[in-house]
Amino acid sequence: MYEKDGEKYFVVDAHTHFWDASPENWVRGQEKYAKGWIECFHAYQGLGPKETHWSIEDFMKYSEERMMKDLFDEGHVDVAIFQPTNLKQWYREGFNTTEADGALAERHPGKFVVNTTFDPREGDAGLAGLEERVGRWGCKGVKLYTAEWRGDSRGWSLKSDAADRYLAKCQELGIKNIHVHKGPTIWPLDKDAFDVSDVDHAATNFPELNFVVEHVGLPRIEDFCFMATQEPNVYAGLAVVVGGLMHARPRFFAKVMGELMFWLGEDKLIFGADYAIWEPRWQVEGFVDWQMPDDPEFSDYAQLTVAQKQKILGLNAARLYDLDIPAELQPKAEPTVEPIGVPS
């Protein structure tokens, strides 16, 4: 639990990874994609403070000890949620799989939540595999990457009938939280791959599931914000927003936070450090210390309160995942304030 100025924060890092992108794990013939992927991630790390940058060698594969230290000993994280990304087309054993995450989680009881993933292009076999993983690891959430390559396919949409079957299966298996990550390639390539309208479609059809749109729909924040005002079960995952903007582009960070508070409100924002792209420590400390600039350019946006930061840093995710919150940190009953962006 992080404490600053007499205030305590229960920190849930809702977006973490334990990956292996070392050359030994690259698929023969796919090396340029495997290398391109991890180098792209590494460039994102460049948006964090210089003293937190790793060498590319360290970044490709890191130890369990390092991860535990960076998250729990030094990073102020109380519970972290694994979000797997298979990418088996490029990485022999997968990039960051449910199995690798789950094995690590079992060695550290109480520290992690293990999410899994699915790919509707896997048909019936994929449905069976999903059920097996949920049974084995007790998953309450899935992380979906719609731009994942598979054979000649360059991605899939949540609007498809195949995706509907998988979401129905999730509901049946007790999965509550669907984390959606958009990427740059989806068929057909002439369409905007970052379009979030398929999330809108799925959120309407599955009102009992929560949809957490990772990196707040970046680069389509405007579409995401507008969609989220119409769908009560849509949440914003802040991975990349805090890590990618708070240090490198503080004024844009302030505006994005202002917009998210305006359109979605304090109950819908979910912190995630996106380790190992960025370490949680500077993000947690920085966010607790952060305040909306006192400048006319930001006059449309309100200041953030301690209670709001407590929700964003952990209490909101704890609610979605039914995590035990220390008694002293139970959210105080407050009058509900509707975000201004919600149309009446």
Partner 1 sequence: MTGALTAQTALHRAVWAALDSVLDPELDEPVTDLGFVAICSADRDGRVVVRLRLPTYFCAPNFAFLMVADADDAVRAVPGVSEVDIKLTDHFAADTINEGVAAGKGFVGSFQGEAVAELDSLRADFLRRAVLAGTDRVLRGLDRSTVELTTLTLGDLPRSPELDRLRDRRRLLGLPCSDGDPLLIDPADGSPVPAAGLRRHLGIARVTRVGQEANSGVCRGMLRARYREDEG
Residues engaged in binding partner 1 (CB under 8 A): 32-33, 36-37, 39-40, 42-47, 152, 154, 183-185, 187-194, 218-222, 225-226, 240, 244-245, 248-249, 252, 255-256, 258-259, 262-263, 300, 341, 343
Number of DSSP helices (H) and strands (E) in the chain, helices first: 13, 10
Is the Cβ of residue 158 or residue 225 nearer to partner 1 in the bound state? 225
Distances (CA, A) of 294 to 51, 116, 217, 253, 297: 28, 42, 27, 14, 9
Q: How far is the CB of 291 from partner 1 (least distance, A)?
A: 18
Nearest to 40 by CA among 244, 242, 237, 195: 244
Is the Cβ of residue 227 or residue 284 nearer to partner 1 in the bound state? 227
Q: Three-class SS of residue 15?
A: strand
Partners of 269 in the β-ladder: 236
Answer yes or no: are the C-beta atoms of 209 and 174 closer than 8 Å. no
Residue written as tokens 């079960």? 233
Is the Cβ of residue 335 or residue 343 nearer to partner 1 in the bound state? 343
Q: How far is the CB of 198 from partner 1 (least distance, A)?
A: 16
Answer yes or no: are the C-beta atoms of 324 and 51 closer than 8 Å. no
Amino acid identity of residue 215, one-letter, is: H
* CA 13 to chain CA mean position, Å: 9
Q: How far is the CB of 204 from partner 1 (least distance, A)?
A: 20
* Cβ neighbourhood burial of 334 (10 Å; 0-12, 13-18, 19+): exposed
Q: How far is the CB of 31 from partner 1 (least distance, A)?
A: 12
Give phi and psi for 134, each to the nearest 5: -65, -40
Q: How far is the CB of 7 from partner 1 (least distance, A)?
A: 28
Q: Three-class SS of residue 79?
A: strand
Helices 197-205 & 161-173, crossing angle to 10 degrees?
A: 50
Is the Cβ of residue 103 or residue 194 nearer to partner 1 in the bound state? 194
Is the Cβ of residue 12 or residue 199 nearer to partner 1 in the bound state? 199
Name the DSSP letter for residue 20.
Answer: B
Is the Cβ of residue 132 or residue 192 nearer to partner 1 in the bound state? 192
Q: How far is the CB of 41 from partner 1 (least distance, A)?
A: 9
**Cα(344)–Cα(341) distance, rounded to whole angstroms?**
9
Is the Cβ of residue 130 or residue 264 nearer to partner 1 in the bound state? 264
Q: How far is the CB of 102 from partner 1 (least distance, A)?
A: 28
